[in-house]
Structure 1
Amino acid sequence: MSDDFNMSMRKFLKQVGVTSQQAIEEAMRENGDTGGKTFEAKVVLTIDGLDLEHVVTGKIQGQSEA
């Protein structure tokens, strides 16, 4: 794969990671004390023109308010 492809993919994935973490943290703050709770998470990646749908699932542990 080309350097341009690798750089554009890394840039996109970094943006996904950073903005997703920010959104999750904001949602946790808005919902108050989430300690002891586990949240099911799912990310669906689609790319138009490539007929791609990639699903990632996992769990996120809540946290108690400080």
Structure 2
Amino acid sequence: MSDDFNMSMRKFLKQVGVTSQQKIEEAMRAKGETGGKSFEAKVVLTVDGLDLEHVVTGKIAGQD
């Protein structure tokens, strides 16, 4: 793959990771006490023009 492709891919994935973490932390602060709890999480990635849908699931531990 080309350098331009790799750079655009890394930039996109960094944006996804940073903004997702910010939103999760914001929601946990709004919820209040989340220590000792865990939350089911799901991300659905779609790419227009590639007929791609990729689902990632997992658990996120609450913060004390």
TM > 0.5 between the two? Answer: yes
By how many angstroms is 1:7 displaced? 0.3
Cα distance in 2 for residues equivalent to 1:63 and 1:49: 39
Which structure 1 residue ranges, 4+ long, deviate > 4 Å from structure 2?
none
In the superposition, the TM-score normalised over structure 1's length comes to 0.95
1:31 equivalent in structure 2: 31
**In the comparison of the two structures, how many residue pairs are matched?**
64
Unpaired runs of at least 5, structure 1? none
1:7 equivalent in structure 2: 7
By how many angstroms is 1:63 displaced? 1.4
In the superposition, the TM-score normalised over structure 2's length comes to 0.98
Unpaired runs of at least 5, structure 2? none
Matched, 1:49 2:49: yes
C-alpha RMSD over aligned residues: 0.4
